[in-house]
Structure 1
Amino acid sequence: MAYVIMSGCQQEKAAECVDICPVDCIEEGDDQYYIDPNLCIDCGACVAACPVQAIVAEDDLPKEELHQMKKAEKFFD
């Protein structure tokens, strides 16, 4: 399981998550930041750092945000 950045990041793009990630698995895209699910170690540091609560565990991703997981996977392909 990895963490997923939801659409709330699109308005904010604060980047605190990037600075706190111990494995540098968060990258900036055109519209938001993305977490590489293959590198994420599930530490949760990004969740605590996000000022808009836009990061959740993959298993807790709301149905209306499922497209965000696909978007992240496509970003890192």
Structure 2
Amino acid sequence: MTYIVTENCIACKYTDCVEVCPVDCFYEGENMLVIHPDECIDCGVCEPECPADAIRPDTEPDMEKWVEFNRKYAERWPVLTQKKDPLPGAEEMDGKPGKLALFSEAPGEGS
């Protein structure tokens, strides 16, 4: 099992999860985070830290596409090891449906 970041992170990008990760497997895009599924040690400490409930185990139904999504962008984006402020408007965007249309492939700054 591994943990992965799903659509609800888009346009929120809370980074509380990054602060607790013992292996630095989070990668930063312009408007979301991803977890490298091959680096995640399945400890699960990140999942309860996400205010947007965007981190899920890959054992849930229909997560295969998100595992590949996370892998793809983790290999392109910089690692993030320190907590940052969420995106402006994160509270308003939290839980909104259809956020995949807002996704940006651009990398973040990392840390």
Taking structure 2 as the reference length, the TM-score comes to 0.61
1:75 equivalent in structure 2: 73
- Report how far residue 66 of structure 1 moved: 4.4
Percent identity reads 36
- Letter of the 1:48 counterpart: P
Q: Is the 8 A contact 1:18 1:24 kept in 2?
A: yes
Taking structure 1 as the reference length, the TM-score comes to 0.84
Q: Is the 8 A contact 2:12 2:31 kept in 1?
A: no
Q: Distance in 1 between matches of 2:71 and 2:47?
A: 19
Task: Give 5+ residue unaligned stretches, structure 1.
Answer: none
Give the aligned CA root-mean-square deviation in angstroms: 1.5
Task: Give 5+ residue unaligned stretches, structure 2.
Answer: 76-111
2:4 is paired with a residue whose SS is strand
1:32 equivalent in structure 2: 32
- Report how far residue 31 of structure 1 moved: 2.8
Q: Distance in 2 between matches of 1:57 and 1:4?
A: 6
* Greater Rg over alpha carbons, structure: 2
Q: Distance in 2 between matches of 1:7 and 1:26?
A: 15
Q: Distance in 1 between matches of 2:31 and 2:5?
A: 12
Counting helix residues as a fraction of each chain, which structure ranks higher? 1
Q: Is the 8 A contact 1:18 1:27 kept in 2?
A: no
